[in-house]
């Protein structure tokens, strides 16, 4: 492999996150330059953040040297992919393993997006203060420098799992429901923030029993103007009476008040009306970035949709994927149906895979996303919103005031899943795990070290840190309390057979 190695900074499209992350990315670049020089390589830096697709095309397209993306905060996948697709030079995504900024989330999203486009790449990470002193990191970086790739163990991965007769029967019944009536995803806009991996589209969805109907997000503003004030009043009274704790005007959030929450409920009701009008089964809500200066954050409404206890409820949750991520809404809807069929609570939570650390001899992940975590995670009671706290979304990212739907997730056994694109088809990752209750001091340190305003879940995902970082193809994860692992395996196989049967007819 070439001695010269190009380093580049994929960035956010917004200037504020890039500015905030500048000290971290500068330090990480110094660290990886030192490590590469220790291996006898000649690193050089492509100047400036890549903050738009054309910058990736123009700055990365001409580079034939091996390339390393420095990932320390949230990054849009096109700020890497658009400049490297169709090229064969070795590509490495490198990150510091830290929770302050969602660099790991950005690495996982960019990796999944590269995989969906068929562009080979490798990943490497370290939590060491001195990267060149981390023997495992240096061994892997050396492997990449020598061969152009890093091979990680796949021993914890399996392509099949035993399924009991009872689980197979439940999955077969749910699959038959889907065959009788295809699942309709109402898409409010397109996917968000450069998540190429999160959009499947009808050409893929229809092969597995799903489809989509897109509505422009501008409809939220238009429809919202016609929501009757009485409905907003009643919705506002409902969330207060059912236990939500609102942190209006706290911690300097002078602009976060009752009116901000009312406006969030206006958007909730406008979207609820559209779900009813189109008889949609589940929801993908883009929100970012177009509505940020125009409407309050969608998080409070998304949390309500993923709760049974909500204004004008029909007794069901609406599986709602924040950032319109179809890779999450597909397993969320499947899990919801299996949970109901098994007599378990139907709530399915949506999270980022944000960060993690060792605790009492096992590795726990901090699962944390501002949007679509329902109230059941915080109280294990479908009939209340107790345990929900609404804080102002951080103003650095959300200029229009509005609250989150946050809380501490209760302990319990759970099942997790994620759908992704690989080799032109949909795949499903499924696992068993456990939500863990941390000691208050540890919980607070981890929560404060990420984003305190967002819902928090500490989770043992049943696999090692290395397996997830090396192989997981998403920045998001769907989590449900209860064991529906075998049922999800069987249902995924059943929906895959829909595709196999169709292909056999051609």
Quickly state the pLDDT bin for 61 (edges 50, 70, 90): very high
pLDDT of 68 strictly over 90? yes
- Measured distance CA(187)–CA(211) in Å, rounded: 10
- Measured distance CA(429)–CA(343) in Å, rounded: 23
DSSP 132: G
pLDDT of 405 strictly over 80? yes
pLDDT of 444 strictly over 50? yes
Quickly state the pLDDT bin for 506 (edges 50, 70, 90): very low
Dihedral of the alpha carbons of 188, 194, 198, 201, in degrees to the nearest 10: 60
> Tell me, what's the pLDDT at 504?
47
- Give the pLDDT mean for 280-288: 93
The pLDDT tens digits of the residues spanning 189-216 come to: 888 888 999 999 999 999 999 999 999 9
End-to-end Cα, the chain, rounded Å: 44
Q: What is the CA radius of gyration of the chain?
A: 22
> Tell me, what's the pLDDT at 190?
85
The pLDDT tens digits of the residues spanning 358-394 come to: 999 999 999 999 878 999 999 999 999 999 999 999 9
258-278 vs 229-241: helix axis angle to the nearest 10?
110
3-class SS at 83?
Answer: helix
Residues 6+ apart with CB under 8 A from 113: 77, 78, 80, 81, 194, 195, 196, 197
The first and second tokens of residue 482, run together, are: 């209860």
Residues 6+ apart with CB under 8 A from 340: 346
β-strand partners of 456 = 408
The first and second tokens of residue 244, run together, are: 């939500």
The first and second tokens of residue 318, run together, are: 């609406």
pLDDT of 178 strictly over 50? yes
DSSP 215: E
Dihedral of the alpha carbons of 19, 23, 24, 29, in degrees to the nearest 10: 110
- Give the pLDDT mean for 460-482: 97
> Tell me, what's the pLDDT at 445?
97
DSSP secondary structure, 217-270, as one string: THHHHHHHTTS-HHHHHHHHHHHHHTTPEE-TT-TT-TT-SHHHHHHHHHHHHH
Q: What percent of the chain has pLDDT over 90?
A: 93
Q: Reading across the β-sheet that carries 282-285, which strands appear in turn?
A: 210-215, 183-188, 282-285, 320-322
> Tell me, what's the pLDDT at 505?
41
Longest distance between any two alpha carbons in the chain, whole Å: 70
- Measured distance CA(306)–CA(316) in Å, rounded: 9
Domains of the chain: which residue ranges?
4-147, 165-505
- Measured distance CA(227)–CA(267) in Å, rounded: 9
Tokens 């994927």 identify what position? 321
- Give the pLDDT mean for 300-312: 98
DSSP secondary structure, 381-425, as one string: -TT--TT-EE-BPPTTT--S--B--B-BPPPEEEEEEEEEEETTE
3-class SS at 503?
Answer: helix
Residues 6+ apart with CB under 8 A from 308: 315, 316, 317, 345, 346, 347, 376, 382, 383
> Tell me, what's the pLDDT at 479?
98
pLDDT of 499 strictly over 70? no
Tokens 């981390």 identify what position? 134
pTM of the entire predicted model: 0.96
pLDDT averaged over the chain? 95
Q: Is 106 exposed, middle or buried (0-12, 13-18, 19+ CB in 10 A)?
A: buried
Q: Which of 322, 307, 314, 454 is closest to 386 using CA atoms? A: 307
pLDDT of 500 strictly over 80? no
Whether 84 contacts 55, CB under 8 Å: no
Quickly state the pLDDT bin for 498 (edges 50, 70, 90): low
Chosen CATH of 4-147 out of 3.30.420.10, 3.90.1580.10, 3.40.50.10940, 3.30.1300.10: 3.40.50.10940
The pLDDT tens digits of the residues spanning 158-168 come to: 999 999 999 99
Q: Which of 308, 302, 327 is closest to 212 using CA atoms? A: 327
Domain spanning 165-505, CATH class: alpha beta
The pLDDT tens digits of the residues spanning 207-261 come to: 999 999 999 999 999 999 999 999 999 999 999 999 999 999 999 999 999 999 9
What stretches of 64-126 adopt beta strand conformation (E)?
A: 67-71, 91-96, 122-126
């Amino acid at each position: 492999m070439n001695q010269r190695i190009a380093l580049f900074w994929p960035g956010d499209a917004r200037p504020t996150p890039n500015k905030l992350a500048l000290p971290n990315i500068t330090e990480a670049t110094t660290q990886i330059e030192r490590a590469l020089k220790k291996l006898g390589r000649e690193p050089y830096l492509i100047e400036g953040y890549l903050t738009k697709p054309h910058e990736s095309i123009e700055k990365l397209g001409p580079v034939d040297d091996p390339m390393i993306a420095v990932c320390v905060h949230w990054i849009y996948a096109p700020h890497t992919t658009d400049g490297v697709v169709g090229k064969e030079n070795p590509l490495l995504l490198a990150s510091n393993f830290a929770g302050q900024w969602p660099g790991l989330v950005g690495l996982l999203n960019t990796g999944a997006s590269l995989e969906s486009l068929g562009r080979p790449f490798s990943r490497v990470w370290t939590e060491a203060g001195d990267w060149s002193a981390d023997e495992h990191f240096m061994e892997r970086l050396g492997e990449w420098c020598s061969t152009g790739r890093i091979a990680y163990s796949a021993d914890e991965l399996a392509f099949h799992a035993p399924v009991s007769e009872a689980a197979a029967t439940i999955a077969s019944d749910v699959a038959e429901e889907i065959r009788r009536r295809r699942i309709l995803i109402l898409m409010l806009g397109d996917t968000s923030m450069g998540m190429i991996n999160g959009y499947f589209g009808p050409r893929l969805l229809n092969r597995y029993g799903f489809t989509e109907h897109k509505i422009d997000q501008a409809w939220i503003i238009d429809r919202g103007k016609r929501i009757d004030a009485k409905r907003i009043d009643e919705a506002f009274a409902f969330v207060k009476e059912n236990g939500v704790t609102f942190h209006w005007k706290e911690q300097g959030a002078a602009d976060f008040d009752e009116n901000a929450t009312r406006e969030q409920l206006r958007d909730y009701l406008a979207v609820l009306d559209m779900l009813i009008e189109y008889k949609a089964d589940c929801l993908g809500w883009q929100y970012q970035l177009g509505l940020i200066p125009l409407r309050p954050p969608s998080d409070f409404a998304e949390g309500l949709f993923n709760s049974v206890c909500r204004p004008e409820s029909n007794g069901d949750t609406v599986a709602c994927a924040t950032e319109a991520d179809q890779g999450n809404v597909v397993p969320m809807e499947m899990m919801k149906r299996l949970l109901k069929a098994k007599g378990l609570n139907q709530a399915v939570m949506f999270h980022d895979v944000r960060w993690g650390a060792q605790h009492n001899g096992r590795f726990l992940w901090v699962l944390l996303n501002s949007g679509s975590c329902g109230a059941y995670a915080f109280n294990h009671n479908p009939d209340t919103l107790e345990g929900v706290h609404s804080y102002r979304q951080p103003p650095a990212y959300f200029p229009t005031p509005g609250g989150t739907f946050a809380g501490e997730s209760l302990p319990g056994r759970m099942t997790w899943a994620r759908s992704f694109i690989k080799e032109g088809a949909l795949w499903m990752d499924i696992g068993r795990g456990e939500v863990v209750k941390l000691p208050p001091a540890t919980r607070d340190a981890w929560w404060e070290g990420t984003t305190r305003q967002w819902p928090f879940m500490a989770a043992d995902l049943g696999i090692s840190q290395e397996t997830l970082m090396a192989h997981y193809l998403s920045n998001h994860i769907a989590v449900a309390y209860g064991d529906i692992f075998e049922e999800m395996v069987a249902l995924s196989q059943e929906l895959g057979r829909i595709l196999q049967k169709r292909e056999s007819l051609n």
